């Protein structure tokens, strides 16, 4: 029986979204702009990487062709140099929002057709009733920040005051999120998670997609640093995803990285959540080695987004792409006849773009595996076609949205 693996390279968009202007992102192109920057030497960093963007395996699956089909421009060094080894295309996001849950839910057949709630870019950003209730219910001395912010800047700015006062740092972004940063040791990790659970309840009436715990460590002297213990408290997808369908069909499911959190742990099978791209990719590869026939592994690699996209770090982002690409042969080595792997993304996060937020973009669709027919799967009018194709491959009837290319 066939098996399937989806790897979401979080935020690895390929530009060209027709509705990008609605999001202030017309022209944003994560992979294209990284490739251009690298070709011009702006991706060089001593001790990290240098030269043109070097992604030989994804290029052989058709990454450059997908970019060209999406934007009309072939990014430097991404044109295939030999015969194609995979199927390629690009996905158009139909969901309202350019955030992680919208992208992932759409991949699994549940595009977001409702409007998320957002907190305004004002100070304070959160409604007084919400923060008053949070302070009262969690017995807090108050909160800090209460504004749109970058998560690394906000702990630099408020970390010392947080440690001194015990007031958690609450911030948001253009996404439907309430994020709470607190020190793992002085505030306590479990206490932060408990606080986020209260915030989750309080955010429900505002239709907020996620409350995110952002623990950090360090001191004012050494600097503050976020840890791998981030945890997202999402709402449930509003309809059955392919995870639900597969679970009802009795198929084995393994979810890696943030996937469990993103689907609010519904039908997420065995959850594995190590920290970092490398460890998550290793976990996904290990899961494929052990996966029974008919099973599905769903992995998210978040560092592209968190460590490099939001930080507008072009060399870091390029190095992370190259590090992933180098390990593609390990994925191939874990496959059995009949396996299907799809590499895709959930939104963009162009590190050359203004601000620090996600960017509305098309996403790459690269499919490979022992029996995969090479060539184009074309422009897919919804990310949902990915989930539909996985169900078709696994021979499970698909009750939801999306059209399989198989």
Ligand X SMILES: O=P(O)(O)O[C@H]1O[C@H](CO)[C@@H](O)[C@H]1O
The minimum distance between CB 174 and ligand X, in angstroms, equals 7
| Number of residue whose CB is nearest Mn ion | 100
Chosen from Mn ion, ligand X, none, partner binding at 255 (C-beta under 5 to 8 Å by type): none
- Shortest distance (Å) from residue 317 CB to ligand X: 14
Q: If contact means CB under 5 to 8 A according to the sort of partner, which of Mn ion, ligand X, none does residue 361 touch?
A: none
Is residue 369 within 8 A of residue 341, CB to CB? The reply is yes
Binding site partner of 325, from Mn ion, ligand X, none, Cβ cut-off 5-8 A by kind: none
Peptide bond into 145 cis (omega under 30): no
| Residue closer to Mn ion, measured from CB, 231 or 251 | 231
Considering CB distances under 5 to 8 angstroms, the limit depending on partner class, which of ligand X, Mn ion, none binds residue 50?
A: none
Where do contacts with ligand X occur on this chain (CB under 6 A)? 100, 150-151, 173, 175, 177, 179, 214, 306, 310, 356
Residue 124's nearest CA partner among 157, 159, 170 is 170
Start-to-end Cα distance in the chain = 16
- Binds 393, which of ligand X, Mn ion, none (CB < 5 to 8 A, cut-off by type)? none
Q: Which of 397, 353, 354 is nearest to 37 (CA)?
A: 353
**Residue 305 binds Mn ion (CB under 5 A):** yes
Torsion sign (Cα): 73, 79, 84, 90: negative
Applying CB under 5 A, does 232 fall inside the site for Mn ion? no
Considering CB under 5 A, how many residues would be counted as binding Mn ion?
4
Least Å distance, CB 153 to ligand X, is: 8
Single residue of 59, 71, 95, 100 touching Mn ion by CB under 5 A? 100
346 is in an annotated binding site: yes
10 is known to lie in a ligand binding site = yes
Angstrom CA distances, 52 to 37, 56, 135, 169, stand at 8, 11, 50, 40
Nearer to Mn ion, 294 or 316 (CB): 316
- 77 vs 146, which CB is nearer to ligand X? 146
- Residue 347 annotated as binding? yes
Per-residue buried b or exposed e for 58-67, using 16+ beta carbons within 10 Å of the residue's own CB = bbbbbbbbbb
Residue with tokens 């769903």: 298
Residue 346 interaction partner, one of Mn ion, ligand X, none, beta carbon < 5-8 Å per kind: Mn ion
| Residue 359 interacting with Mn ion (CB under 5 A) | no
- Residues annotated as binding site for Mn(2+)? 10, 305, 310, 346-347, 358
Query: Interface with Mn ion by CB under 5 A: which residues?
Result: 10, 100, 305, 346
């Amino acid at each position: 029986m066939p098996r399937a693996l989806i790897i979401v390279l979080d935020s690895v968009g390929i530009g060209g979204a027709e509705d990008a202007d609605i999001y202030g992102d017309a022209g944003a192109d994560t992979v294209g702009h990284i490739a251009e920057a690298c070709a011009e030497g702006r991706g060089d960093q001593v001790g990290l990487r240098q030269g043109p963007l070097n992604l030989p395996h994804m290029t052989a699956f058709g990454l450059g062709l997908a970019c060209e089909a999406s934007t009309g421009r072939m990014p430097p060094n991404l044109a295939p140099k030999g015969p194609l080894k995979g199927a390629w295309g690009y996905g158009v996001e139909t969901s309202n929002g350019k955030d992680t849950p919208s992208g992932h839910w759409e991949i699994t057949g549940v595009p977001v057709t409702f409007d998320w709630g957002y907190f305004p870019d004002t100070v304070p950003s959160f409604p007084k009733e919400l923060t008053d209730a949070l302070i009262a219910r969690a017995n807090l001395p108050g909160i800090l920040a209460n504004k749109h912010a970058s998560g690394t800047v906000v702990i630099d700015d408020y970390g010392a005051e947080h440690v001194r006062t015990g007031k958690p740092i609450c911030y948001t972004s253009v996404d439907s999120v309430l994020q709470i940063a607190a020190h793992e040791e002085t505030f306590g990790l479990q206490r932060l998670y408990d606080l986020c659970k209260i915030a989750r309840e309080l955010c429900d009436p505002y239709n907020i997609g996620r409350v995110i715990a952002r623990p950090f460590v360090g001191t004012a002297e050494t600097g503050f640093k976020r840890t791998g213990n981030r945890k997202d408290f999402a709402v449930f997808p509003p309809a059955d995803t392919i995870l639900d369908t597969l679970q009802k069909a009795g198929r084995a499911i393994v979810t890696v990285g943030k996937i469990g959190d993103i689907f609010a742990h519904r039908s997420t099978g065995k959850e594995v959540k190590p920290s970092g791209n490398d460890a998550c990719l290793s976990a996904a590869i290990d899961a494929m080695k052990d996966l029974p026939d008919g099973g599905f592994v769903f992995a998210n690699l978040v560092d592209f987004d968190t460590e490099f996209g939001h930080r507008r770090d072009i060399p870091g982002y390029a190095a992370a792409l190259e590090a992933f690409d180098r390990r593609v042969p390990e994925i191939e080595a874990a496959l059995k006849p009949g396996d299907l792997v799809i590499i895709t993304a959930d939104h963009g996060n162009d590190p050359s773009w203004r601000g620090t937020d996600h960017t509305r973009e098309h996403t790459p669709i690269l499919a490979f595996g022992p029996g995969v027919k090479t060539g184009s799967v074309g422009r897919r009018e919804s990310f949902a076609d990915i989930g539909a194709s996985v169900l078709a491959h696994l021979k499970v009837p698909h009750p939801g949205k999306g059209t399989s290319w198989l």
